[in-house]
A and B are shown apart, each in its own frame.
Chain A
Amino acid sequence: MTTESINVSRLFEKWILDGDTKLNEIDLVLKIKEYLESQHPEICGKCTPCRDGVVKMEALLDKYIDGTATIKTLNELESLVINLRASRCSVGLDIGKNIEVVLENNYHVLYKPVKKY
């Protein structure tokens, strides 16, 4: 295992075990983005949900960083994450599962900053 993947595993252990994360929203978003970027070399480019979905998810997370996220951004993010269940191999499926856990445990963190109207 590379240092990077060990870091990522630790991160997820923390997220999964520690349901109520102490991270604030920006930190959480940055961590998710970091994780997604770390998966880029694994993506083979064959199936749509993973190849195009991951990049799109990053673009949506950027909206959180810019402070322009709306409720639509969150909905879209959610649907893209669930769509990763349609991936062809475990790369996409694993990314999807990990982010699903994050969303489940930290939905309120991502929900707080969005503009509701």
Chain B
Amino acid sequence: MANITINDIPVKVKNGTTILNACKSIGVKIPTLCFIAEINEIGFCRICVVEVEGEQDLVSACNTEITNGMVVKTDSELVLESRKNTLRLLANKHKFNCWQCPKDGECEFYDMLKTYDITFDEFGPSVGRNPEVILGTGISMDQSKCILCKRCVAVCQEVVTAKVLKFRDDDGLNPFVSPTVGLAFDETGCIFCGACVNVCPTGTLHETDHVKRVEAMLRDPNKLVVVQPAPEVQAVIGEEFGMKIGTPVKEVEGKLYRALKLLGFDEITDVNSAADLTVMENANRLIDRLQNDGKLPMFTSSCASWVRYTELNRPEYIENLSSVKSPHMIQGSLIKHYYAPKYLKKSPKEVFVVSVMPCTSKKYEIERPEMESDGVRDVDAVLTIRELSKMIKRKGIRVKDLEDYMPDSPLAKLTGTGSSIPVSCGEMEATLRTVSHKLDGAPLEKIEYKFTKGSPMNYGKGVIKEATVTIAGNKLNIAKVNGGTAIKEMYKRIDSGKKQYHFIEFMTCAGGCINGGGMPIVHDIPAHEVIIKRSDALYRQHEQDLPLRKSYENESVLKAYDEFLKEPGSEVSHKHCHTKYSQKEYRNE
């Protein structure tokens, strides 16, 4: 233990603690811009500087460890003036078109300028450091807003491990952050997970805008616009409208549907029943591979980022991927080719399907050339939750005051909307439950997972959970892999061949979709707490109320098979529910 003094208050802290944490322990918050705990403790931005007695210069609180007898001042004139000057310098190289900024009120940099009441005398806000805009199907980058905090670089390198964004400091006076110079995101190794978008303190990195397309289609009287929100949307949309993190789905769901109705969507569905379809098809693929010595382990393919990661970096494992599309793509295809023509008397070309997702890589997924049937794109636009809330705010809808509404149109009924059984976390369990039912008619035993990498309290570094289940006498080794570092680790384990895995669920984002790149941005609360609170809202409360998910008993799915798809793995289902993957070239320099 060490005794230190912070702003004349004596404090006892553990040896090795940083000044930042020591201050936090007594309730003094030191502002930071480039800091992310354990990921980016580099002291680049110099906002967190403090005065230490005996030191001639100011020291950064985020990466300076305390020593016994240290006397720290966090609010001396020198410190405050330095902070203001640094902010002024950063503002001088930042483009302030805040009203059209994709960050939409969540800008940490703007908040800080406000807190410190920055005034400009000799030089003020300018046109930005670098006017270049780098485009991509999932995420884009407006470099005129970059303040060079390097958070995105740290996350891309250490958490996602895609190593796309780099800090390019050949010219020390004009450094910049970018993927391979001169290339769009799609030509690099970017997997569009959106982790960089979530950590960017300004609006530099942002999801590629689909709001304009959607609004244009909502105005078009000849188009039937169908919206399909993911289960995560119900769990978190309230956060954007002043509700607490972790507000139960039941309290938000009805208001969300009402808001979507008011926005002018013609039909409201959700992706629940398509998730069951994915499960049915996956189960069919898994049984096929188990019985016919197919390629094992089988990988789930719902996470578009992870699929792209494999296509780019580990093409030898493409065959292991399940060929089943992700739920919203399946539902898009079915709405256009089955529900709309049969029940609504609309041709596929008259239907415009919009997905609302917690993810930026879904924007990339819908642009994949394989994702179409009969020349019609499966899904036409993907909104992130942030984009949807922006649309709702623009329309002047006060979500908190809305009355509940349950969609009762034929399409909503056909797709089982409002049943609110979220699936994404349990995709693997649901698949195994179906496999177990099909192979021996017995219910699946309870799966006890063991953490073999990471822990629930440290999602940021990736998690691998492993278990063994017995189905029809076969022992299956299964695993759940979340996070970029965990994906690499898992590949190493498969490469080594020490253990034969049978079925693995991969997700690029640490903590799964609930921590996706399109989620509302939360400051001040550690990432793992946010994940736990949101998961509580989405999963735990349901576990108590609802029986276990049995995809093979979902009536709307059975009806879809009966009327259109025939059976899992049939020719029609291959056309609408399955896709192909191929190796892709890229340049990461």
Contacts and interface: CB of A to CB of B under 8 A. Distances in A.
Contacts of B175: 45-46, 51
Contacts of A48: 44-46, 86, 89-90, 148
Given A56-B89, A79-B81, A82-B78, A47 B122 contact: no
A88 interface: yes
Contact of A45 (B86, B89, B171): B171
A51 B43 CA distance: 14
Contact of A72 (B49, B122, B173): B122
Interface in A36-54: 40-49, 51-54
B169 interface: yes
B173 A51 contact: yes
B122 A76 contact: yes
B82 A86 contact: yes
Given A47-B43, A49-B86, A82 B173 contact: no
Given A48-B45, A82-B82, A88-B44, A93 B57 contact: yes
A105 interface: no
B61 to A, nearest CB: 11
A9 interface: no
B174 A45 contact: yes
A98 interface: no
Given A47-B46, A48-B46, A80-B85, A85 B58 contact: yes
B122 A60 contact: yes
Contacts of A21: none
B447 to A, nearest CB: 47
Given A72-B121, A82-B78, A88-B44, A40 B172 contact: yes
A51 B92 contact: no
B143 to A, nearest CB: 14
Nearest to B63: A88
A53 B92 CA distance: 10
Contact of B169 (A44, A56, A86, A88): A44
Contacts of B86: 48-49, 83, 86
B306 to A, nearest CB: 33
Q: Is the interface of A mostly helix, strand, loop or mixed?
A: helix
Contacts of A63: 122
Contacts, number: 92
B479 to A, nearest CB: 39
A43 B172 contact: yes
Contact of B57 (A44, A56, A72, A87): A87
Contacts of B58: 85-86
A87 B172 CA distance: 14
Interface residues of A, number: 32
Contact of B121 (A43, A44, A54, A76): A76
Interface string B75-101: 000100110011001101100000000
A88 B60 contact: yes
A87 B89 CA distance: 13
A106 interface: no
A47 B33 CA distance: 12
B16 to A, nearest CB: 21
A41 B173 CA distance: 9
A49 B172 contact: no
Interface in B431-479: none
Interface in A84-104: 85-88, 93
Contacts of A51: 148, 172-173, 175
A73 B90 CA distance: 18
Nearest to B49: A86
Contacts of B57: 85-87, 93
A62 B381 CA distance: 51
A55 interface: yes
Contacts of A93: 57
Interface in B35-89: 42-46, 49, 56-58, 60, 78, 81-82, 85-86, 89
Given A76-B121, A86-B46, A86-B86, 10 more contacts: A43-B173, A47-B45, A49-B86, A52-B89, A52-B90, A56-B123, A75-B121, A79-B81, A82-B81, A85-B56
13 contacts: A40-B173, A45-B171, A45-B172, A46-B169, A46-B175, A47-B43, A51-B175, A52-B89, A52-B92, A76-B121, A79-B81, A87-B57, A88-B43
Which 9 interchain pairs have the tightest Cβ spacing?
A45-B175, A45-B172, A83-B85, A52-B89, A43-B172, A45-B169, A76-B122, A86-B58, A86-B49
Interface of B: 42-46, 49, 56-58, 60, 78, 81-82, 85-86, 89-90, 92-93, 121-123, 148, 169, 171-175
